[in-house]
Amino acid sequence: MKKRDVYIWLSSIQGVSYGAVRKLEEYFGDIEEVWEAEGRDIYRALGKRSKSAVKIANLRSKEYWHKTREKLSALQVSTVTIADGNYPGKLKKIYDPPYVLFYKGELPGDRPTIGMVGARNATPYGKWAAKKFAKELTDRGVGVISGLALGIDTESHKGAVENRGYTLGVLGSGVDVAYPPTNHQLMENIQKQGCILSEFFLGEEPLKHHFPQRNRIISGLSDGIVVIEAGEKSGSLITVEYALEQGRDVFALPGNINCEKSRGTNRLIRDGAKVLVEVEDILAELPEGLSLPIKQQEEDILRDLSDSEVLVYRCLEKRPLDLDALYYRTKIDIQSLNILLTSLELKGYITRMPGKSFTVNR
């Protein structure tokens, strides 16, 4: 058994944690030794009462290893271990990098990446902002990383997918388990132009304690973390803690002080996070020397619009607005505004949001 094979084999055994693999490596010096080791030495490494030790000792068979490889091959799941040259460089530098990553799609390579996290029960404003910034980041060639949860995660991935940009979803389950189930099609779409990835083996369910582990990977793969919306006890703040430990920049979207979903982000700003107002706030903090070409020139985007349509589009580009607010800013009468909005919506430039407001599709 080669080193990478032993890592994959251990990761396939349910209940064998990152900590257990670390103890084995520390005890034996070379992880390859575990495959041929005496059972008593495995118990000494993990403790005599360790259930993991029992499983490891009992599953050292060619038959089990053959079935493990067959499962991965049948679902076309790729693997990369910490012993491999193509293991993500940013992730390898964190304190506790996963020994194995199971993935479908394309790893991020050296491209700049930003993690985007936030509330599952997001507000319409938060969903709009997540999609907006994901599209603007991918316009500049920056990949978007998130956790495929409901709310902000989902909208961030959707924004990147709709913009044909690179996005990577880090799961708290096996890559063959869609969670939430409603995101099954989104997972399929992400694989086509990005990657879904997990440190958990096939079939692993999305257990509660998996998500903090997942969060360290989101931040570890990213050059910075954007928090769109978060309550005071949001799980997104765990990702922020990891990001700070890993030396990543943290950006937070300011929100209404009366909105519970903005209390976490507003406090992050108070405590030193960078204020996120426009995408340039993020781009300015990316490592020097990165080439960030804009995918499509602005004049090309708006070439089919009339002057009045461009005026309305420009207003909505800054923030979602309702009909009254648009009238105040454009001085175009309500009847004409309704016609312009319908035209822009049919052409795919804007979207009607809850509360009778409108936002741009970038």
Give residues with Cβ within 8 angstroms of 5, minimum separation 6.
Answer: 65
> Is the pLDDT reported for residue 296 higher than 50?
no
pLDDT-wise least confident of 150-159, 196-205, 296-305, 310-319: 296-305
Mean pLDDT in residue range 75-98: 95
Short-list 102, 104, 112, CA closest to 145: 112
Token reading at 85: 């040259």
Of 330 and 226, the structure prediction assigns the larger pLDDT to: 226
Distance CA 124, CA 137 (A): 20
Token reading at 131: 């999609």
Average pLDDT, the chain: 91
Query: In 201-220, which positions are buried (b, 16+ CB within 10 angstroms) versus exposed (e)?
Result: bbebebeeebbebbbbbbbb
Short-list 140, 206, 139, CA closest to 169: 206
Contact assessment for residue 113 and residue 145, using Cβ atoms and an 8 Å cutoff: yes
Sign of the dihedral through C-alpha 327, 315, 313, 350? negative
Give the angle subtended at the CA of 251 by the CAs of 245 and 253, to the nearest 5°: 140
CATH-assigned architecture of domain 113-283: 3-Layer(aba) Sandwich (3.40)
Residue 56 pLDDT: 94
Q: Please, is 311 exposed, middle or buried when counting C-beta atoms within 10 Å of its C-beta (0-12, 13-18, 19+)? A: middle
Residue 220, CB half-sphere, CA atoms under 13 Å: how many? 22
Short-list 238, 324, 250, CA closest to 281: 250
Residue 297 pLDDT: 46
> Is the pLDDT reported for residue 142 higher than 70?
yes
pLDDT digits (tens, 9 = 90+) for 208-254: 999 999 999 999 999 999 999 998 888 899 999 999 999 999 999 99
Domain boundaries, the chain: 3-74, 113-283, 298-360
- Whether the link from the prior residue into 180 is cis, omega within 30° of 0, is yes
Task: Give the pTM.
Answer: 0.81
Token reading at 234: 């949001």
CATH-assigned architecture of domain 298-360: Orthogonal Bundle (1.10)
Query: What is the distance, to the nearest Å, from the Cα of residue 283 to the centroid of all Cα atoms in its chain?
Result: 18
Distance CA 70, CA 62 (A): 12
> Is the pLDDT reported for residue 299 higher than 80?
no
Of 293 and 53, the structure prediction assigns the larger pLDDT to: 53
Distance CA 159, CA 113 (A): 15
In the structure, what pLDDT confidence band is assigned to residue 288 with cuts at 50, 70 and 90?
A: low
Of 199 and 234, the structure prediction assigns the larger pLDDT to: 199
pLDDT digits (tens, 9 = 90+) for 6-21: 999 999 999 898 899 9
> Is the pLDDT reported for residue 174 higher than 90?
yes
Distance CA 315, CA 349 (A): 13
Q: Please, is 79 exposed, middle or buried when counting C-beta atoms within 10 Å of its C-beta (0-12, 13-18, 19+)? A: middle
